[in-house]
Amino acid sequence: MPSLYFEARKLNPSPYSFLVINHNTQEQFMEAKNCLEEYQPECAVLNYKMVEKFNHDTNNPVDNYIKNNYQLVFQANNKLVYKKLPSQ
């Protein structure tokens, strides 16, 4: 959702505006996950409905990182907003 970064005046922590299984490589998913680990963004906004037609599999390094380090705090119009969990 590249326009969201523009509206929020934030920079995408990874070099990819979107990541979809069977479109992006495993290396690209790992690079994006490493960027999330390095930059620790406060939130993540996901829209799985948008990539449903591509048979996106959420069992990947980026989605797994978000599931393990963020908490779902808001959901509307197919958009899921996750907030970073406090450091343990």
Q: What is the pLDDT of residues 36-54, one digit of tens each?
A: 999 999 999 999 999 999 9
- Phi/psi of residue 76, each to 5°? -165, 140
- The residue with greater pLDDT, 63 or 1, is 63
Write down the pTM of the prediction.
0.89
Q: Is 81 helix (H, G, I), strand (E, B) or coil?
A: strand
How much is the pLDDT for 8?
A: 83
Give the C-alpha separation, 82 to 73, whole Å.
6
Contact 63, 20 (CB under 8 A): no
Q: What is the pLDDT of residues 54-84, one digit of tens each?
A: 999 999 999 999 999 999 999 999 999 999 9
Domain ranges of the chain: 2-84
CB atoms within 10 A of CB 13: 17
Size of the chain, expressed as the number of residues it contains: 88
Contact 29, 58 (CB under 8 A): no
